[in-house]
Amino acid sequence: MSSQITTSFVEQYSSNVAMLSQQMGSKLRGSVDVEKVTGKNAFFDQVGVTAAQLRTSRHGDTPQIDTPHSRRRLSLADYEWADLVDDVDKVRMLVDPTSSYARAAAAAMNRAMDDVIITAFNASANTGVAGGTSTALPSGQKTATSDQSDGLTIAKLLAAKKILDDNDVDPSLKRYIVCGPQQISDLLGTTQVTSSDYNVVRALATGAINSYLGFEFIMSTRLNKDATNTTDRLVFAYTEDAIKLGIGKDISAKISERADKSYSTQVYYGMSLGAVRMEEEKVVQIPCHEA
């Protein structure tokens, strides 16, 4: 049972169980490729680039073009959340907190899902027939080195766009930027009031629009800082198929009575999932300074 539940007893004169500020839903699930997975590991085959051969004679031999194949491995991990509501506590409280516990559990699961996706952006991807080779995000997929003196700028966004364009990324694929609140503030600070860019970024900051330079912006407070330069927040540009989110078991809930816990009500949530970067050319890391 949660040891903090006594703060909601009737003596507090509160008729509601309020949810403290927290991210409730997954912000990134809708921006990646989601696939149902059965088993502990899943493999996804890929076909590489080939070139057409010029025909130089009549009735010549048919050319043999060896198509390159590659493979990515995704491994599932299990996540759980549970807490108990004692029947005695229900009597002492003005409301039953079970539904609030369920909301808190679902929010925790969704945040964990976003963390898995964020990790996949620049973690080593398991490649090869058995997934035994680690493939890192190359330096060419980073707009700059770490240890930055500036935050997110329009120049960095243009550099990320150029990297994707230079990689011949299909322009029909949706492109995303996941960044934090500080990065939106950075953009407002680096554009002039008289520029058209400023008006667009200001609309982005107020939520009037959510796209700029061909990127749909997603704001997240869960992005990590650089491991060696802790003043740099790692922002990412990516396409809708850059990350594969494999779901073995989607978020599920069980609220039931526990006879072994004095018939307390248990709120239980669980899920099984994993994520892997499918193609380095479709992810761009953008280090951004944060004071």
pLDDT-derived band at 27 (thresholds 50, 70, 90) equals very high
* Phi and psi at residue 280, to the nearest 5°: -60, -35
The correct CATH number of 142-244+278-289 out of 1.10.287, 3.30.110, 3.30.2320, 3.30.720 is 3.30.2320
* Phi and psi at residue 10, to the nearest 5°: -55, -35
Q: What is the mean pLDDT of residues 132-150?
A: 88
The rounded mean pLDDT for the chain is 86
200 or 216, which is more confident? 216
The count of residues in the chain is: 291
Q: Is the pLDDT of residue 16 over 70?
A: no
Q: Cα(135)–Cα(16) distance, rounded to whole angstroms?
A: 50
Residue whose C-alpha is closest to residue 143's, from 157, 123, 127: 157
pLDDT-derived band at 237 (thresholds 50, 70, 90) equals very high
Q: What is the mean pLDDT of residues 145-170?
A: 91
The neighbour count for residue 104, using CB atoms within 10 Å, is 21
pTM listed for this prediction: 0.85
pLDDT-derived band at 204 (thresholds 50, 70, 90) equals confident
- Domain locations along the chain: 5-47+70-125+249-274, 142-244+278-289
Residue whose C-alpha is closest to residue 29's, from 126, 161, 118: 118
* Phi and psi at residue 31, to the nearest 5°: -105, 0
Q: Is the pLDDT of residue 65 over 90?
A: no
